């Protein structure tokens, strides 16, 4: 959850560090980069919502590995 939340924060405007770097390196406007990232950002929000409201999704792989 921590890593997913940080990933969302890095691409969320106005402070999104990754957005600023991509816009600078690609010499693009921030609006264009944000529009390009929007589908991925939406998917990350959906996955984060599912992981927070259904914690068993996070714990299932642990149960598989421990045999319980």
pLDDT, averaged per 10 consecutive residues of the chain (68 residues), comes to: 90 84 92 91 94 89 83
- How confident is the model at residue 25, as a pLDDT? 95
φ/ψ (deg, to 5) at 16 = -50, 105
Query: How crowded is residue 16: how many other Cβ atoms within 10 Å of its Cβ?
Result: 20
Integer Cα distance of 4 and 64 in angstroms: 22
Question: Which pair of tokens denotes residue 57?
Answer: 């999704």
- State the pTM of this model: 0.75
Domains of the chain: total: 1
- Owning domain of residue 50: 2-66
């Amino acid at each position: 959850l921590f890593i997913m939340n940080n990933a969302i924060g890095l691409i969320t405007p106005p402070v999104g560090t990754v957005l600023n770097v991509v816009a600078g390196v690609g010499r693009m406007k921030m609006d264009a980069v944000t529009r390009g990232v929007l589908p991925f950002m939406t998917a990350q929000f959906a996955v984060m919502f599912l992981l927070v409201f259904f914690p068993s999704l996070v714990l299932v792989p642990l149960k598989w590995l421990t045999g319980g």
